[in-house]
Amino acid sequence: MASLFSSFLLALCLFVIPSFSSDPDPLQDFCVGDLRASPSINGFPCKSSVSASDFFFSGLRGPLNTSNPNGATVAPANVLTFPGLNTLGISMNNVELAPGGVNPPHSHPRATEAGVVIEGSVFVGFLTTNNTFFSKVINVGEMFVVPRGLVHFQWNVGKGKARLITAFNSQLPGVVVLPNTLFGSVPEIPNAVLTKTFRTDDATVNNLKSKFAV
């Protein structure tokens, strides 16, 4: 009986413990991704030859161009832009917002997000699965966290530019930007679905689709 119980506990640990991390743990010191190859479950195959430059990245430097309808631009440092992150389970973004700019409601299906304000004042909010809204205006040096998969946004409420550095516990957290997904998908979501969902008419839906068409 004791042996059976021990076997059960061992099996439980083997199945449950890996679920606590977002990306699988690496089995080697590093595995700089070969982006020319197709990714596997745990990332890209390793490059056969690496150099010091594979472990350094300058893509988070600003300033970024925020001249767009949202007044927001994101510069990612994930495995696709910085292959040295391959299999390491971490990535970062530089987020810059013009005055009044919004990083629109979105979610990251594969990662929790933590961020710190580097410049300006930012209204950060996220929604839980029971539609509870948590939000706060945070300033330079203050942090926020958004649990994995929850819809959230950042809005510059200061008088000047705002900048955040965000970090994720995944080499490729993914992003689902709600307005782009709903009104700019290819192929399009049928109007009948959207008019029913948002209790509106075809003209409104078509107008929104025209703003997010790829």
> Could you give the count of Cα atoms lying within 13 Å of 142 in the half-sphere of its Cβ?
12
Tokens of 75: 């510069």
pLDDT for res 22: 60
For 75, other C-beta atoms within 10 Å of its C-beta total: 15
Residue numbers in the known binding site are 93, 103, 106, 108, 113, 152
Using the predicted structure, report yes or no on whether residue 12 has a pLDDT greater than 50: no
Alpha-carbon distance of 90 to 23, in angstroms, equals: 8
CA angle (62, 105, 125) in 5-degree steps? 85
CA angle (179, 183, 184) in 5-degree steps? 100
Alpha-carbon distance of 129 to 153, in angstroms, equals: 15
Residue numbers in the known binding site for oxalate are 93, 103, 108, 113
pTM metric for this prediction? 0.85
pLDDT for res 2: 52
Using the predicted structure, report yes or no on whether residue 18 has a pLDDT greater than 50: no
Alpha-carbon distance of 39 to 94, in angstroms, equals: 25
Tokens of 28: 């080697």
Mean pLDDT of 181-209: 97
Alpha-carbon distance of 96 to 107, in angstroms, equals: 18
- Pairwise pLDDT comparison (18 vs 168), residue with the higher score: 168
Residue 138, SS3 per DSSP: strand
Those residues whose C-beta lies under 8 Å from the C-beta of residue 162, and which sit 6 or more positions away, are 96, 97, 101, 117, 119, 120, 121, 122, 154, 156
The proportion of the chain whose per-residue pLDDT surpasses 90, expressed as a percent, equals 82
Mean pLDDT of 5-24: 49
pLDDT for res 5: 45
Contact status, residue 144 vs residue 150, Cβ threshold 8 Å: no
- Pairwise pLDDT comparison (10 vs 93), residue with the higher score: 93
List, for residues 70-79, the tens digit of each pLDDT value: 999 999 999 9
List, for residues 100-143, the tens digit of each pLDDT value: 999 999 999 999 999 999 999 999 999 999 999 999 999 999 99
Mean pLDDT of 173-202: 97
List, for residues 115-126, the tens digit of each pLDDT value: 999 999 999 999
Residue 40, SS3 per DSSP: strand
Residue numbers in the known binding site for Mn(2+) are 106, 108, 113, 152
Alpha-carbon distance of 214 to 212, in angstroms, equals: 6
Using the predicted structure, report yes or no on whether residue 63 has a pLDDT greater than 80: yes
What rounded mean pLDDT belongs to the chain? 91
